[in-house]
Amino acid sequence: MKISKKNIFDKPLSGDDEQEIFKELIKTNDFSVERIYTNKAFEQPGKWYDQKKDEWVLLLQGEATLEFREDIKVTMTKGDYINIPAHKVHRVSETSEEPNCIWLAIFGDLK
């Protein structure tokens, strides 16, 4: 097995046209860990997530607003984290452009 070092804050080498770039870092049968890089500031009118697994997400860099279908908005800044239960319908409604948002997300049965 090759051992290689990477940095969570590095800008992705590809995907400049994508608003969000997802990179799976770890995957097991029980959970997965992803890095999410927000490439451009954006609002997502109409795109909602309804995930099958719980999501614990930490904002490592930037500022963002999460919106839940129940008309709840949560403003997040660097260092904030939140646990989003499975099937809690939500979306990222706003993100900062400078700096870009970098998220660390863990998906699984997190109860």
The region of weakest confidence among 12-21, 27-36, 43-52, 60-69 is 12-21
Examine the pLDDT at 64 and tell me if it is beyond 70.
yes
Please check whether residue 69 is in contact with residue 48, taking contact to mean a CB–CB distance below 8 angstroms.
Answer: yes
Predicted local confidence at residue 16, as pLDDT: 64
Examine the pLDDT at 15 and tell me if it is beyond 70.
no
pLDDT band at 29 (very low <50, low <70, confident <90, very high): very high
Examine the pLDDT at 40 and tell me if it is beyond 90.
no
**Of residues 47 and 54, more confidently modeled:** 54
Please check whether residue 75 is in contact with residue 63, taking contact to mean a CB–CB distance below 8 angstroms.
Answer: yes
- pLDDT mean over 10-36: 88
pTM for this predicted structure: 0.89
What residue ranges define each of the domains in the chain, with the CATH number in brackets?
A: 20-108 (2.60.120.10)
pLDDT tens-place string over residues 93-111? 899 989 999 999 999 999 8
Rounded-to-5 percentages of helix, strand, coil across the chain: 0, 50, 50
